[in-house]
Structure 1
Amino acid sequence: MYAKCSSMSEARQVLEGLPTRNVVSWNALATGYVQTGEAYQALKCLEQMEIDGIRPDAVTYTCMLKACAMIRAIGRGKQIHDEIARQELLQNDTILCNALVDMYAKCGAFSEAQQLLEELPCLDVVAWNALVAGYVQDNEAEQAMDCLEQMQDKGILPDQVTYICILKACSMIRALEKGRIIHDNLVKHGLLESDIVLGGALIDMYAKCGALIEAQEVLMGMPSRNVVVWSALITGYVQEGEAMQALECLDQMQHDGIAPDAVTCACVLNACCHCGLVAEGEALFVNMNSKYGLKPSPECYICMVDLFGRVGHLEKAVRLAQEMPYSESLSLWHMLLGACRKWVDVNVGEWAFEQAVKLDKTDGSAYVLMADVYAAAGMPEKAKQIETMRIRNNAQMVK
């Protein structure tokens, strides 16, 4: 009970207080450690079991393999594999076989995982999914897609998890045609009708491949939509430099009754900044707090300071910098100094430089930018003074 409730210290005390301990009680404790992310503690349970003379079973080894996968303990995982093979536990235990493949895949030992898939009769789609996910995690997109063909050759039908991984692989290498084939298969088997996660993966694939019309068609054809699928489409438009389309999606999303999250807002703000959409960016920034109840992140503040600075609204940029609850970011002051250089505003530049030097007097970028502000204003002597200050403070030049 304590282990299932993540109260591991209490669970350990209960186990140690038992007059006799068996494999079931140890398995419960080890499983609890794995569920709470304490892989090393789980592996220590196996050592203590052996000291107590308690023989581990398939459940124990499944748990230990999960622990090894969590911390990429490939050496310990191989030792456990050898012990499992010695006890001939792999012949009919699908769960244990799957855990073994998953351990090798998550440790990046793909040849061992692949060999198991070829040798063991008890493996199912879960094991193949573990290998596919491992390849995707290691950015081996083409190998992941090869696994799909191997699965089908062996008569193993892919499931939603398989397709989500393969779609991610397609997006990684912009394999649009392969993604379209997957889309056709999903429609053919009716898998898109009720799986919003799978639909989101498909939208993300099309968006990252630049096929935004197809991404939008998938989204509009979904019976239900959430912030994740909308964000995938919006991110795609932003990546393609389509800020106005991203803003339109933001409006449509709200008409759907779905409020954007902080990540979506930050993404659209970034697009507004790069496209110079001041009014739209400012409105979104204000709405984050007043309309959506979101606390703008430091990145959002910096983005708005950059936006105001690009168009010469330095008073607004200064006001935001003063309001920013966490102003210990050199990037903020670099943005403002860059704007002062562009618009030749010495007063604001000196203030921003002062803030930057307070944070880090060895920050070479601040000195270079301030000297540039003075140079742009026709004040070469001031620029020389800044260079002297830089040398005195041992601030390194930016290469």
Structure 2
Amino acid sequence: MYGRCRSVIHARQAFDRIENKSVISWNSIITAYAQNGHSKEALGMFCAMDPEGVKPNRVTFLAALDACSIETEQSSNLGREIHFRIIESGLESEETIANSLVNMYAKCGRFDQALRLFQKFLPGTVVSWTAMITANAHWGHGRSSIRLFGEMDLEGIAPDEITCISVLDACARERDLDWGREIHSRAKAMGFDRSSSVVGSALVSFYGRCGNLKEAKQAFSMAARRDVISWTAMVSAFAHHGWGEEALEIFHAMILDGVLPNSVTLLSVLAACSHSGLLKTAREKFVSMGNDFGIHPLSDHYDCLVDSLGRAGRIGSVEEMLEFMPFHPGAVVWMSYLSASKVLGDLVRGERAAKMLLDLDPGNCAAYLVVSNMYVSTENEE
């Protein structure tokens, strides 16, 4: 009960009070940790079962594999160990276990192993096909995701909502309007474009990222429900392509429609202001995050505001932000500081910004280029 209510602290306290812990008790606490994003704790509890003499079962393995489905080398290694235990238990070919193994390896970037299991055990399930498609899209292999979708179609397996969302993401990454429109047609035929707000938002995002704002508007107008996700997709689409004023108009229409923004929405608004030179508006929206919407700015929001200041050459304000922002300045902030230094022709500040930037990102070619141009400009003036 506590695990389902996301109170993992209470779940752990309840678990610790049990004297004779059965496999069901262990499964409950591992699942609670895994489902609430505490992968390290979930895997720690899984490893603690052996010393206690408790043998994992199918449910245990599913929860542990879920906890392993994150992008770290440690998770991948432990996932392989769990896989060996599953083989010893004779459960590898069980469909839900095989699907979880494919999902785990794919999310960890181990596509060779995921593909081997996929071909061996799961040639005909939408869950396994979708796991492969989603993971490829996530790791930037958009063309592979699209190819897998085509193979899935040839096998006669109908996509579900998650499949459509993942392939649309892949199409957006590849700027493949033809395939994206094909997915849109499939989603429409299956009723997903109207029944699922998430699919509708994915369509808006796809067309927006491909620069087709007309079709993005059409997809938005046909969405099942205009929630914060679909509104944010529209704001982001226009912001991404430099239509700052239009992005702000959409944002204001969203507020008038009674939909409150989230952190991602406001990040898109700040990006729209930055790309369109709307410094005053950027400052107003940054302040309104907490005052009007109760949203605490994250480092990305600070990055956007600093970028607006840097583009405007407001280097003094950038330095104030560097001093008072509640985060260690990242590469984006120092690049903005460097750009502002270039606008003002301030070589001393530019050198400082470049040094800090290259300490964080040694391969940043833009930093070398900007400083080099500043040196040339200084020499020409002399």
Distance verdict in 2 for CA 1:83–1:301, change over 3 Å: closer
**Structure 2 SS opposite 1:181:** helix
Asked if 1 retains the 8 angstrom alpha-carbon contact of 2:29 and 2:42, the reply is no
Asked if 1 retains the 8 angstrom alpha-carbon contact of 2:261 and 2:293, the reply is yes
Q: Distance in 1 between matches of 2:326 and 2:242?
A: 29
Distance verdict in 2 for CA 1:44–1:213, change over 3 Å: same
Cα-to-partner distance string for 1:276-315 (whole Å, 9 max, x where unaligned): 34554455456545544555543354244335537xxx89
Runs of 4+ off more than 6 Å: 330-334
**Structure 2 SS opposite 1:98:** helix
Distance verdict in 2 for CA 1:267–1:81, change over 3 Å: closer
Q: Distance in 1 between matches of 2:254 and 2:57?
A: 51
Write the mapping of 1:61-210 to structure 2, written as runs, cut at 5 A.
61-70=61-70, 73-91=75-93, 93-120=94-121, 124-210=125-211
Asked if 1 retains the 8 angstrom alpha-carbon contact of 2:209 and 2:237, the reply is yes
Stretch of structure 1 that moved more, 81-90 or 226-235 = 81-90
- How big is the shift at 1:89? 2.9
Q: Distance in 2 between matches of 1:59 and 1:340?
A: 58
Write the mapping of 1:175-324 to structure 2, written as runs, cut at 5 A.
175-278=176-279, 280-281=281-282, 284-285=285-286, 287-288=288-289, 291-294=292-295, 297-306=301-310, 308-309=312-313, 317=317
Q: Distance in 2 between matches of 1:100 and 1:333?
A: 42
- Tell me the percent identity: 29
Asked if 1 retains the 8 angstrom alpha-carbon contact of 2:95 and 2:121, the reply is no
- How big is the shift at 1:196? 0.9
Asked if 2 retains the 8 angstrom alpha-carbon contact of 1:141 and 1:170, the reply is yes
Distance verdict in 2 for CA 1:245–1:94, change over 3 Å: same
Asked if 2 retains the 8 angstrom alpha-carbon contact of 1:247 and 1:268, the reply is yes
Distance verdict in 2 for CA 1:107–1:252, change over 3 Å: same
Distance verdict in 2 for CA 1:152–1:184, change over 3 Å: same
- How big is the shift at 1:188? 1.0
Q: Distance in 2 between matches of 1:236 and 1:186?
A: 21
Normalized against structure 1, the TM-score is what?
Answer: 0.72
In the alignment, which residue of structure 2 is the partner of 1:58?
A: 58
In the alignment, which residue of structure 2 is the partner of 1:10?
A: 13
**Structure 2 SS opposite 1:260:** coil
Distance verdict in 2 for CA 1:48–1:284, change over 3 Å: same
Asked if 2 retains the 8 angstrom alpha-carbon contact of 1:301 and 1:321, the reply is no
- 5+ residue gaps, structure 2, are 361-366
- How big is the shift at 1:319? 11
Distance verdict in 2 for CA 1:3–1:318, change over 3 Å: closer
Distance verdict in 2 for CA 1:150–1:26, change over 3 Å: same
Q: Distance in 1 between matches of 2:110 and 2:235?
A: 36
Asked if 1 retains the 8 angstrom alpha-carbon contact of 2:106 and 2:132, the reply is yes
Asked if 2 retains the 8 angstrom alpha-carbon contact of 1:97 and 1:123, the reply is no
Q: Which residue, 41, 46, 53 being the options, matches 2:44?
A: 41
Stretch of structure 1 that moved more, 273-282 or 244-253 = 273-282
Q: Distance in 2 between matches of 1:337 and 1:97?
A: 51
**Structure 2 SS opposite 1:228:** helix
Distance verdict in 2 for CA 1:85–1:150, change over 3 Å: farther
Q: Distance in 1 between matches of 2:118 and 2:82?
A: 18
In the alignment, which residue of structure 1 is the partner of 2:363?
A: none
Q: What amino acid maps onto 1:136 in structure 2?
A: A
Q: CA RMSD in A?
A: 4.1
Distance verdict in 2 for CA 1:90–1:229, change over 3 Å: same
Asked if 2 retains the 8 angstrom alpha-carbon contact of 1:3 and 1:33, the reply is yes
Stretch of structure 1 that moved more, 6-15 or 201-210 = 6-15
Q: Distance in 2 between matches of 1:149 and 1:158?
A: 11
Q: Distance in 1 between matches of 2:79 and 2:340?
A: 55
Cα-to-partner distance string for 1:90-128 (whole Å, 9 max, x where unaligned): 45x432222222222223222332233333269632222
Cα-to-partner distance string for 1:215-263 (whole Å, 9 max, x where unaligned): 1111122242122222222222222222232222223223322243444
Larger radius of gyration: 1
Cα-to-partner distance string for 1:59-117 (whole Å, 9 max, x where unaligned): 222233333334554444344434434544345x4322222222222232223322333
Q: Distance in 2 between matches of 1:46 and 1:202?
A: 45
Q: Distance in 2 between matches of 1:263 and 1:273?
A: 15
Distance verdict in 2 for CA 1:280–1:189, change over 3 Å: same
Distance verdict in 2 for CA 1:222–1:343, change over 3 Å: same
Q: What amino acid maps onto 2:45 in structure 1?
A: A
Stretch of structure 1 that moved more, 323-332 or 276-285 = 323-332
**Structure 2 SS opposite 1:155:** coil
Query: Number of matched residues?
Result: 353
Q: What amino acid maps onto 1:298 in structure 2?
A: Y
Distance verdict in 2 for CA 1:252–1:59, change over 3 Å: same
